[in-house]
């Protein structure tokens, strides 16, 4: 089974090996058929690369690294 990949923006890079990525998705209301945005924050592991606030990145699901980290940053998107 392939691993999940999500795309989002970095909203926090304060800790040395962790970034917080906000992923936004568009949902459709069942009854009213109106579109609305949902967002969720994921903590992702970063090893050595230089990522800054506002960078668009791709994160991939992985084994649990810590209590909250279950994702790893794969690539930077432009």
pLDDT in tens, 26-45: 999 999 999 999 999 999 99
Number of structural domains the chain divides into: 1
Its sign, for the CA torsion 51, 7, 73, 17, is positive
Structural domain including 56 reads: 5-77
Q: How far apart are CA 10 and CA 40, in angstroms?
A: 12
This prediction has a pTM of: 0.89
Q: Look up the CATH number of the domain holding residue 68.
A: 2.40.50.1000
Show pLDDT as tens, one digit a residue, over the chain (78 residues).
899 999 999 999 999 999 999 999 999 999 999 999 999 999 999 998 789 999 999 999 999 999 999 999 999 997
């Amino acid at each position: 089974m392939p691993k999940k990949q999500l795309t989002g923006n970095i909203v926090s890079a304060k800790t040395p090996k962790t970034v917080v990525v906000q992923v936004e998705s568009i949902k459709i209301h069942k009854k009213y058929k109106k579109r609305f945005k949902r967002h969720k924050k994921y903590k992702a592991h970063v090893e050595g690369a230089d990522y800054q606030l506002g960078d668009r990145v791709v994160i991939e699901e992985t084994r649990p690294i810590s209590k909250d980290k279950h994702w790893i940053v794969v690539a930077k998107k432009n």
